[in-house]
Amino acid sequence: MPLVSGLIPKSLSAQCKSASLLMNLYLIVKTLHILSATVLFGTGLGIAFFMFRSMFTDDLQQKYYAARSTVLADYLFTFPAAVFQSLSGVWLVWYAGFNWTDTWLAVTYILYLLAALCWLPVVWIQIQLRKLIEESIRTGDPLPERYHRLFRIWFMLGWPAFFGLTVIFYLMVAKPL
């Protein structure tokens, strides 16, 4: 190795090291971006499952546990993953030199915005559901009609976000348009 390294100009060697570091940074950010997408999608799907399953029990304590855990999981996992997705996505598009207006990226922006616009009221609804369950536990009264109405809205808002994120996964992999 010492014989070869003497043949490569130091400036070229430094450029190669710099390029290698940047490539490693790109791969690290891309890996973290993929992991955060997995957390965003997986946590969303997982908490939706448990919240949905709580609909099938009359035990208010079980409903309360599901609602409380769902709200907590959104704060601990979904929110940070969504923020990181946005920031790392912007950096990856910039660093990789993609055209910001490529159709596959434009569709991704729209779907991500749709998912966010569904998720924000969903979080508010989850908090309201938790409060309504708390009140029913405290008073011993059955859950009010508002609980059931909000639960239906919560359920319906989950579908556009789920399908939107599913399509985003495809667009990120295939970049078809």
The answer to whether residue 136 scores a pLDDT higher than 80 is yes
Q: What is each CA distance from 7 to 1, 16, 17, 130, 142, in whole angstroms?
A: 10, 14, 16, 69, 82
Residues 107-138, buried b or exposed e (16+ Cβ, 10 A)?
bbeebbebbeebbeebbebbebbbebbeebee
Q: Cα separation of 88 and 94, whole Å? A: 10
Q: What tens digit of pLDDT does each residue of 50-87 get?
A: 999 999 999 999 999 999 999 999 999 999 999 999 99
Q: Cα separation of 26 and 96, whole Å? A: 8
Q: What is each CA distance from 152 to 51, 59, 60, in whole angstroms?
A: 12, 19, 18
Residue-range domain boundaries for the chain: 13-174
pLDDT at 19: 63
Closest CA to 158 of 44, 22, 13, 4: 44
- Mean pLDDT calculated for residue range 137-150: 98
- Mean pLDDT calculated for residue range 139-159: 97
The answer to whether residue 45 scores a pLDDT higher than 50 is yes
